[in-house]
């Protein structure tokens, strides 16, 4: 009987919760470097618009600290709300795509997806994040997206650890270089 009790006690002590069901408390999309930077642009005279019908919306950025991406946020257009977008992150120093994922997003608000594998972004390296929509049906207008823009863009835009150095809207239209900053949110762990 003592052995049975001892086995039960050790069994209970050695059990640990399944971490796969625990949300990542370090990943908070309620605020981010990008969101603050974007809001600062609006406060300083940029306009928040949903426009520019090209298949690729992208911006180039650098970080002053090494960060791990835990979520990516975007808002779909209603005409393609069930059609996945491709999200890519490219390391510009090597032209290597370090992340590519196919994701659907809400068409009523910014929603977030979690990359399958960790994405580590190194301090001082130039990256480009892209949202790509090539399955827009018969209406190229389904490729528009939210952006901050004005008549005189003043790159770079910086907030604490993130600096956006440029943007491009291209493929099946454009290019429109440095026309605005597309709202593609990046959440760091």
- The pLDDT value given to residue 168: 98
Contact call for residues 50 and 57 (beta carbons, < 8 A): no
User: 3-class DSSP state for residue 66?
Assistant: coil
Whole-model pTM: value is 0.87
d(C-alpha 37, C-alpha 132), whole Å: 22
How many angstroms separate the Cα of 171 from the Cα of each of 57, 81, 107?
Answer: 9, 20, 22
Residue 78 contacts by C-beta under 8 Å, 6 or more apart in sequence? 107
Residue 5 has pLDDT above 50, yes or no: no
Residue 26 has pLDDT above 90, yes or no: no
pLDDT digits (tens, 9 = 90+) for 118-171: 999 999 999 999 999 999 999 999 999 999 999 999 999 999 999 999 999 999
Of the listed ranges 2-16, 69-83, 84-98, 112-126, the one predicted with least confidence: 2-16
d(C-alpha 134, C-alpha 85), whole Å: 8
Residue-by-residue DSSP string for 99-130? EEEEE---SSS-EEE--SS-EEE-TT--EEEE
Residue 182 has pLDDT above 60, yes or no: yes
- The pLDDT value given to residue 6: 37
Q: How many CB atoms lie within 10 A of CB 128?
A: 20
User: 3-class DSSP state for residue 19?
Assistant: helix
- The pLDDT value given to residue 36: 98
- The pLDDT value given to residue 8: 36
Residue 91 has pLDDT above 60, yes or no: yes
pLDDT digits (tens, 9 = 90+) for 29-79: 999 999 999 999 999 999 999 999 999 999 999 999 999 999 999 999 999
Residue 21 has pLDDT above 50, yes or no: no
d(C-alpha 137, C-alpha 65), whole Å: 40
d(C-alpha 187, C-alpha 26), whole Å: 10
- DSSP single-letter state for residue 45: T
Residue 3 has pLDDT above 80, yes or no: no
């Amino acid at each position: 009987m003592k052995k049975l009790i001892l086995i039960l006690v050790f069994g209970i002590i050695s059990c640990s919760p399944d971490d796969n069901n625990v949300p990542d408390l370090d990943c908070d999309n309620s605020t981010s470097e990008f969101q603050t930077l974007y809001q600062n642009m609006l406060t300083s005279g940029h306009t928040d618009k949903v426009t520019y019908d090209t298949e690729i919306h992208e911006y180039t950025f650098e970080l002053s600290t090494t960060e791990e991406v835990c979520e990516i946020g975007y808002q779909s257009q209603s005409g393609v709300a069930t059609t996945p977008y491709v999200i890519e992150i490219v390391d510009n120093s090597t032209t290597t795509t370090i992340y590519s994922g196919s994701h659907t997003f809400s068409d009523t608000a910014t929603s977030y997806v979690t990359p399958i594998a960790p994405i580590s972004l190194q301090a001082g390296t130039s990256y480009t994040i892209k949202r790509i929509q090539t399955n827009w049906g018969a209406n190229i207008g389904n490729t528009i997206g939210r952006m901050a823009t004005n008549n005189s863009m003043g790159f770079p835009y910086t907030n604490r650890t993130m600096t956006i150095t440029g943007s491009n809207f291209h493929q099946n239209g454009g290019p429109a270089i440095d026309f605005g900053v597309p709202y593609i949110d990046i959440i760091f762990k």
